[in-house]
Amino acid sequence: MNEKIIIGRGTKYPLNGILSLPDNCSSRVPAVVLVHGSGPADMDESIGANKPFRDIAEGLSTKGIAVLRYDKRTKIYGKQMLKASPGDVTVKSETIEDAILAAELLKNDGRIDPDQVYILGHSLGGMLAPRIDAEGGDFAGIIICAGSPRLFSDILLSQNEDMLGQLPKLLQRIANKQITGLKAKFAAIAGMNEEEAKQMKVFGKTYAWYFKEMDAHPAADYLSKTEKPVLILQGDKDFQVSTEKDFALYQQICIDKPNISFKLYPGLNHLFMKSVYGRVKDFKKEYKIPQKVSAEVWADIAEWILSQ
């Protein structure tokens, strides 16, 4: 059963969303807030022909768990935010504030168990999930799907370097110059003050302050402090974050944390769907193929939530 809802009703940035409820809501049920990856995204986190958040919501609701998904603020108000103060946009205004509002909405819904509201962050949303919890989400537990404890700038450079190695020689030379320029910009960010960072564009419409503000809140710090249950999931064919650089680093950081569980899925990509091409340069082709999030993934998430 799906209900249309609004996140942030009465605020400057109200967002449309859907609350997926189990068919039987005679008692209070656990619930999950879904938090998007990078870039503007709709409530289904539509990527190419795929809708991973819709798949997860539909799957978890069959297991007795409510799921709240909503349009990302930059999807609906991106132009407005950039026009008002382009250098001020950070993950706090882009993602964190709305995820906290979503958690509050669920906790105030009489059909939801307020002590069993979880966050599931995908990609950048997974990186931010422990921070969202600490800054006001106050969730019962944290689910990180295809996230990373590295700096966001490091991940972007890794993706670009992976792409570089898969290009023909002529294009490699052109791309290499672009990557060198990007490295120089990222290296300069640490020495900037806030005002300088708000003035310098890194690429497109993204300013240095977006990265500097995020770098000041490393995911590893939140994970090392939390005593809440955490589930970290990744596909081993993910070409946007890596098993060696990201999943293994999570395991290393959390080695003495019995509250943190891990699962790696053979053959699945960044969307937890079957890998087809397995190369970052083919990501557009890969995501144009209509697929579904592996049922094993949402079944594992449901089992973990219901065991808490």
pLDDT of residue 186: 87
- Examine the pLDDT at 165 and tell me if it is beyond 80: no
pLDDT of residue 307: 97
Going by the DSSP 8-state scheme, the letter that residue 137 receives in this structure is: I
C-beta atoms surrounding 288 within 10 Å: 13
pLDDT of residue 170: 62
Q: Please state the rounded mean pLDDT for residues 228-245.
A: 95
Q: Which helix (H) or strand (E) holds 153?
A: helix 152-165
pLDDT of residue 167: 62
- Tell me the fold of 2-149+218-306: Rossmann fold (3.40.50)
Q: For 17-46, how does the pLDDT look when each residue is reduced to its tens digit (9 = 90+)? A: 999 999 877 789 999 999 999 999 999 999
**In the 3-class helix/strand/coil scheme, how is 66-99 assigned residue by residue?**
EEEEECCHHHHHHHHHHHHCHHHCCHHHHHHHHH
In the structure encoding, which two tokens stand for residue 56, read together? 């997860």
Query: Would you kindly state where each structural domain of the chain is located, as residue ranges?
Result: 2-149+218-306, 151-217
In angstroms, rounded to a whole number, what is the distance separating the alpha carbons of residues 165 and 233?
27
pLDDT of residue 83: 81
pLDDT of residue 164: 58
In angstroms, rounded to a whole number, what is the distance separating the alpha carbons of residues 131 and 164?
32
Share of the chain above pLDDT 70, in %: 95
Share of the chain above pLDDT 90, in %: 76
The mean predicted confidence, pLDDT, of the chain is 92
Q: Which of 177, 170, 162, 120 is CA-nearest to residue 145?
A: 120
In angstroms, rounded to a whole number, what is the distance separating the alpha carbons of residues 278 and 2?
34
Give φ, ψ of 20 to 5 degrees.
-90, 120
- Examine the pLDDT at 58 and tell me if it is beyond 70: yes
pTM: 0.94
Ranges 2-11, 147-156, 173-182, 216-225: which has the least confidence: 173-182
Which residues fall within 8 angstroms of residue 219, CB to CB, at 6 or more apart?
127, 128, 130, 131, 147, 148, 149
Q: Which of 102, 106, 127 is CA-nearest to residue 115?
A: 106
* CB-based contact 43:69 (threshold 8 Å): yes
pLDDT of residue 87: 85
Angle between helices 169-189 and 152-165 (to 10 degrees): 170
Q: Which of 100, 71, 78, 123 is CA-nearest to residue 283?
A: 123
Active site annotation includes 270:
yes
Active site annotation includes 27:
no
* CB-based contact 50:14 (threshold 8 Å): no
State the catalytic residue, choosing from 42, 55, 71, 238.
Answer: 238
pLDDT of residue 149: 95
Higher model confidence: residue 232 or residue 203?
232
Ranges 161-165, 173-177, 178-182: which has the least confidence: 161-165
Q: Please state the rounded mean pLDDT for residues 120-149.
A: 97
In angstroms, rounded to a whole number, what is the distance separating the alpha carbons of residues 81 and 104?
24
pLDDT of residue 232: 98
* CB-based contact 142:103 (threshold 8 Å): no
Higher model confidence: residue 39 or residue 282?
39
* CB-based contact 268:146 (threshold 8 Å): no
Q: Which of 273, 294, 297 is CA-nearest to residue 283?
A: 273
Q: What confidence category does residue 128 fall into, taking pLDDT thresholds of 50, 70 and 90?
A: very high
pLDDT of residue 180: 81
Ranges 41-50, 161-170, 265-274, 286-295: which has the least confidence: 161-170
State the catalytic residue, choosing from 133, 158, 270, 294.
Answer: 270
Q: Is 286 exposed, middle or buried (0-12, 13-18, 19+ CB in 10 A)?
A: buried
State the catalytic residue, choosing from 20, 61, 93, 123.
Answer: 123
Active site annotation includes 123:
yes
Give the CA-trace dihedral at 27, 105, 103, 293, to 10 degrees: 70
pLDDT of residue 9: 94
C-beta atoms surrounding 206 within 10 Å: 16
